[in-house]
Structure 1
Amino acid sequence: MAVESLQQTLVGEQAMVDFGRQLAQACEGGAVIFLEGDLGMGKTTFSRGILQGLGHQGAVKSPTYTLVEPYLLGEREAYHFDLYRLADPEELEYMGIRDYFGDQKLCLVEWPEKGQGVLPPADLIVRIALHQGGQDGRQLQLNAHSDKGRSIIAKLVA
């Protein structure tokens, strides 16, 4: 039976980065991953872990003003989107959004609701919220929305 969802409690920034690395290892080829959560929940920290898990060394900054930050990691392409400041989803069409998505490209999208109607559907949605246990804790809820998303979750729980 396919696993549709996974819940994970993480405490501290390093735990977020480490789980992001694990997620990267579970992604074969490309995927579209939506990252949802309020400001300050750790979406960019989690993205840093994913990108490091793909082999990126160096800083990972939130592309709040540029909307997208490309990462060419050997044979792999990854794109980190932050749509927080997007005024209209149509702006994504002007920047050639469709060129960024493909079977072998990993796309991480923060604030995906701002691109609704233009973004392709997510393979996996990661919702990050404050954990009841304290300020440093985060509750991650991963939900698969495709076979690729189910495959990623299955590898994480194996």
Structure 2
Amino acid sequence: MWSNSPMETYAFAKRMGENLSGGEVLALDGDLGAGKTVFVQGLAAGLGISEAVTSPTFTLVQEYRGGRLPLFHFDVYRIGDPEEMFEIGFSEYLSGGGVTVVEWASLIRDWMPEHTTWIEISYAGENARDITIKNAENSREK
């Protein structure tokens, strides 16, 4: 998917969020400033979440429960050891009936469940982004 602006990235993710049913795990990767958090903001809007969505860089996880499904938003950029994910109850979030999104998920690739959908957001120009979505089968070999 090609996005020419943050608004297009947001709109694409919002449509995706509108079609989620719970239990999905989305892994987001891309350079700093590529639009991962904008993507999560759109996803949250598609889930009916109206509160402000920010990157949980220093808190590791933000929970949003104001929509039709809960959203569990992780940012593992600053994680020191993948074991920290399980110390905070990562597996419980995965089975919590909501949508789990992990920014910088490649840092904990081996800890992500097999049914993870991998989303790579790459720079394709000043405001343009290339958004690539892969299912678990074609992303594990990276």
What's the TM-score once normalised by structure 2's chain length?
Answer: 0.89
Gaps of 5+ in 2: 138-142
- Tell me whether 38-47 or 25-34 shows the greater mean CA deviation: 25-34
Equivalent pairs counted in the alignment come to 137
Q: How far apart are residue 74 of structure 1 and its match?
A: 4.7
Q: Return the alpha-carbon distance in structure 1 between the equivalents of residues 22 and 87 of structure 2.
A: 26
Task: State the partner residue of 2:51.
Answer: 58
Matched, 1:45 2:76: no
State, as a whole percentage, how many aligned pairs show the same letter.
33
Instruction: Say which of 76, 82, 90 aligns to 1:89.
Output: 82
Contact preservation (8 Å) 1:33, 1:122:
no
- Taking the TM superposition and a 5 Å limit, the aligned residue runs for 1:1-158 are 8-102=1-95, 104-131=97-124, 134-145=125-136
TM-score (norm 1): 0.80
Which structure: larger Rg?
A: 1
> Residues 95, 55 of structure 1: CA spacing in aligned structure 2 closer, same or farther, 3 A cutoff?
same
Shift in Å, 1:77:
1.6
Can you give the 5+ residue segments of structure 1 that lack an aligned partner in the other structure? 1-7, 147-158
SS at match of 1:116: helix
Structure with the greater relative contact order (CA < 8 A, sep ≥ 6): 1 or 2? 1
Point out the structure with the larger strand share.
1
1:127-147 CA-to-partner distances (Å, cap 9, x unmatched) read 10011xx2000000111227x
Displacement of 1:122: 4.4
C-alpha separation in 1, matches of 2:102 and 2:17: 15
> Is the CA contact 1:63–1:82 (under 8 Å) kept in the aligned structure 2?
yes
Question: SS at the partner of 1:120?
Answer: coil
Q: CA RMSD in A?
A: 1.6
- Could you tell me which residue of structure 1 aligns to residue 140 of structure 2? none
